[in-house]
């Protein structure tokens, strides 16, 4: 449908402008759909990373610190899911990876310390007569 308007001696055809507006609208809808899919994918990746955390075997003494670190980590995961632009998602994703690395190192350190203390306890309990009181007190972590 051609949209022609006549005003005085001039005939104006608005069909090209209308088509251009429709093309821009379609392009924006496609971009919005891609952005939504990208945000959804980022949120899924963040959820997958959160699911990888396994605190089993932490020492009881490390649980309060782990809880603080986990909250920061969880907050970073939420930031990835809620980030708007691609740059914001990349920045939030990098922060999430840093938080994950710190959390995993903390968990591994705690588990290793728990194993060391268990070995000391096993050695001391197998022959308590040879152990001094200071050796037993080292196990009170």
Count Cβ atoms below 10 Å from residue 101 Cβ, excluding itself.
Answer: 10
Structure tokens at 85: 């632009």
Distance separating alpha carbons of residues 43 and 35, to the nearest angstrom: 12
The residue ranges of every structural domain in the chain are 13-137
Looking at residue 131, what is its pLDDT? 62
- Specify whether the CB–CB gap between 64 and 115 falls below 8 A: no
Residue with the larger pLDDT of the pair 85 and 3: 85
**3-class SS shares of the chain: helix, strand, coil, % to 5:** 75, 5, 15
Looking at residue 136, what is its pLDDT? 57
| DSSP bridge partners of 5 | 12
pLDDT, tens only, 22-76: 899 998 899 888 878 877 877 777 777 777 788 888 888 899 999 999 999 888 8
- Specify whether the CB–CB gap between 46 and 80 falls below 8 A: yes
* Rama region for 53: left / alpha / beta (φ>0; ψ in -120 to 50; rest): beta
Whole-prediction pTM: 0.58
Look up tokens 């980590």; give the residue.
Answer: 73
Look up tokens 């899911």; give the residue.
Answer: 81
DSSP for 34-86 reads: HHHHHHHHHHHHHHHHHHT---TT--GGGHHHHHHHHHHHHHHHHHHHH--SH
Q: What is the mean pLDDT of the chain?
A: 80
Residue with the larger pLDDT of the pair 125 and 77: 77
């Amino acid at each position: 449908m051609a949209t022609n308007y006549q005003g005085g001696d001039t005939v104006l055809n608005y069909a090209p402008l209308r088509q251009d507006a429709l093309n821009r609208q379609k392009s924006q809808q496609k971009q919005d759909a891609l952005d939504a899919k990208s945000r959804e994918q980022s949120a899924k990746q963040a959820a997958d990373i959160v699911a990888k955390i396994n605190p089993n075997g932490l020492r009881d003494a490390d649980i309060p610190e782990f809880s603080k670190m986990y909250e920061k980590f969880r907050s970073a995961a939420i930031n990835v899911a809620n980030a708007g632009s691609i740059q914001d998602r990349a920045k939030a994703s990098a922060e999430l990876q840093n938080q994950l690395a710190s959390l995993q190192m903390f968990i591994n350190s705690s588990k290793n310390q728990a194993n060391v203390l268990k070995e000391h306890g096993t050695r001391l309990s197998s022959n308590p007569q040879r152990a001094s009181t200071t050796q037993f007190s080292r196990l009170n972590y």
